[in-house]
């Protein structure tokens, strides 16, 4: 069996659904289990409906619900068998009637709780997975729908639920293999439920996580993440369009890239796959002939020092200085206790005897944090910064990498630099205004020559 996950852009329209039906049908002999995201921007639209309801804008949320139902009906009807369109209409009616009642309740309460957010957000995947199941039948496949909430069991931490892996794996192993023996199993990503049956979600981007959990639970031979890019590239295409495709990369390298801004992969995706040593493939549903990127357990031999450059934007750099704490025990503890209390993760840290510089990507509690820190230190904030992260297993073995970085960025002010504890990355902070100079300069330095076993040059991809 294989797991095939398709993101929102891969199921956003009738044409897109027909395209993925062809992709799945071509792999039918591998007994695919298909995980789908909500169609297009449905999750955002559902949250907008909820926001309109709690704001008391009744006409607005009723209109948005009707528009969303019309969208699903319009894109589903061309890819649903004629004899099942009545079933489609009935299911859409049931789901949107439920949604309307839920939203009316929110309007009365005037409050959106995490539990309500999960309940409303779940409709996107519940609808898309049902529609995709019918469309597969339309295109000549035997397909069955599985409500993910039956098999993905989580804790009660709504909007960021953590799976109960033991219970989830047991349910997956008992449920899916018998279903997949004679049919393509289709299920929604992102959603699960507590042991009491209350709907939960795994967080934004959680459909990738679902695919990995399912793959680990059924012992899949591989997990395929179908998206709208050719795989992992040597640079973010929105910053440097000339990046090259990475053919093969290790789980550890992929996780570093995901954490530091690579949008192709949800950071948590790799965890269940790592533990089960199941390869993950990143593929393009618009160009299924491209082999994509294969993520494997062990590091891949490569003559290049760096595998890829990731960027994390909208960073705030926090500089903390205190001569009063010179040589004082507990300086770092006091600093990080403040960030912990305000539930704000730290990305990078650099320290000296009396100074600490660190970066955060969530400034929501920054004013509170600064007020606390200023009780024992001077604090300077630099906003509009970017973390540029070079990732590669060879960094740990290769001398002179930092020198090459500084030479490539001659004339660009590096605000901070750090080699990660994993020794797989070198990360540096530059101003947002320098980003479009820094990344091309680093890319030219580290990817002028390519190991053909690991990379496919952009010209070859476009040819």
- Residue range 301-323, pLDDT digits in tens: 999 999 999 999 999 999 999 86
d(CA 395, CA 305): 6
Q: What is the pTM of this model?
A: 0.86
Q: Helix 14-25 and helix 114-138: axis angle, to 10°? A: 70
Taking all residues of the chain, what is their mean pLDDT, rounded to a whole number? 93
Compute the average pLDDT of residues 171-189.
97
| pLDDT tens digits, 31-67 | 999 999 999 999 999 999 999 999 999 999 999 999 9
pLDDT at 267: 63
pLDDT at 458: 81
Is-contact 163 192, C-beta < 8 A?
yes
| pLDDT tens digits, 281-296 | 999 999 999 999 999 9
pLDDT at 18 over 90: yes
Compute the average pLDDT of residues 67-81.
97
Domains observed in the chain: 2-228 (3.40.1160.10), 308-450 (3.30.2130.10)
Is-contact 286 229, C-beta < 8 A?
no
Compute the average pLDDT of residues 432-440.
96
Q: What confidence tier does 356 reach under pLDDT thresholds 50, 70, 90?
A: very high
Q: Which residue has the higher pLDDT, 110 or 172?
A: 172
For 57-79, give one letter per residue: b (16+ CB within 10 A) or e.
eeeebbebbeebbebbbebbeeb
Compute the average pLDDT of residues 127-152.
97
pLDDT at 329: 74
Report residue 308: phi and psi, to 5°.
Answer: -165, 160
Q: What confidence tier does 326 reach under pLDDT thresholds 50, 70, 90?
A: low
pLDDT at 274: 82
Compute the average pLDDT of residues 67-76.
98
pLDDT at 411 over 60: yes
Q: What confidence tier does 461 reach under pLDDT thresholds 50, 70, 90?
A: very low
Is-contact 217 211, C-beta < 8 A?
no
Q: What confidence tier does 463 reach under pLDDT thresholds 50, 70, 90?
A: very low
Token pair for 54: 């709690």
Bridge partners (DSSP) of residue 388 are 311, 428
pLDDT at 121: 96
């Amino acid at each position: 069996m294989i797991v095939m996950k398709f993101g929102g852009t891969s199921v956003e329209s009738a044409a897109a659904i027909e395209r993925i039906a062809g992709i799945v049908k071509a792999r039918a002999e591998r007994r695919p289990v298909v995980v789908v995201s909500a169609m297009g921007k449905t999750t955002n639209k559902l949250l907008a409906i909820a926001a309109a309801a709690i704001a008391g804008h009744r006409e607005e949320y009723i209109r948005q619900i009707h528009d969303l139902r019309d969208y699903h009906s319009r894109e589903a009807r061309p890819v649903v068998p004629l004899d099942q369109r009545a079933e489609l209409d009935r299911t859409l009616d049931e789901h949107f009637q439920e949604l309307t009642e839920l939203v009316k309740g929110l309007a009365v309460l005037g409050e959106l709780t995490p539990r309500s957010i999960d309940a409303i957000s779940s409709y996107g995947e519940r609808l898309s997975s049902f529609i995709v199941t019918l469309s597969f039948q339309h295109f000549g496949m035997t397909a069955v729908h599985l409500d993910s909430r039956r098999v993905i069991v989580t804790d009660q931490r709504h909007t960021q639920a953590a799976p109960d892996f033991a219970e989830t794996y047991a349910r997956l192993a008992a449920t899916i293999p018998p279903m997949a023996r004679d049919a393509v199993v289709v299920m929604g990503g992102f959603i699960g439920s507590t042991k009491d049956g209350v709907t939960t979600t795994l967080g934004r981007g959680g459909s990738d996580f679902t695919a990995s959990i399912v793959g680990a639970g059924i012992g899949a031979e591989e997990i395929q993440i179908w998206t709208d890019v050719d795989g992992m590239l040597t640079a973010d295409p929105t910053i440097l369009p000339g990046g090259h495709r990475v053919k093969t990369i290790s789980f550890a390298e992929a996780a570093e890239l995901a954490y530091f801004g690579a949008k192709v992969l949800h950071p948590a995706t790799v965890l269940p796959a790592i533990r089960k040593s199941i390869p993950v493939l990143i593929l393009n549903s618009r160009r299924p002939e491209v082999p994509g990127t294969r993520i494997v357990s062990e590091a891949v031999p490569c003559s290049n020092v760096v595998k890829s450059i990731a960027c994390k934007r909208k960073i705030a750099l926090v500089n903390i200085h205190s001569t009063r704490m010179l040589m004082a025990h507990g300086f770092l503890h006091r600093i990080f206790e403040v960030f912990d209390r305000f539930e704000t993760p730290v990305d990078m840290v650099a320290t000296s005897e009396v100074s600490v510089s660190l970066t955060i990507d969530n400034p929501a509690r920054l004013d509170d944090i600064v007020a606390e820190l200023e009780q024992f230190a001077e604090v300077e904030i630099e906003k509009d910064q970017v973390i540029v992260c070079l990732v590669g297993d060879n960094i740990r073995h290769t001398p002179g990498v930092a020198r090459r970085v500084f030479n490539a960025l001659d004339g660009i002010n590096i605000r901070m630099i750090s080699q990660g504890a994993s020794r797989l990355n070198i990360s540096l902070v530059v101003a947002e205004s320098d980003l479009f100079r820094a990344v091309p300069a680093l890319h030219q330095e580290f990817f002028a020559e390519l190991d053909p076993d690991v990379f496919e040059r952009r010209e070859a991809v476009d040819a």
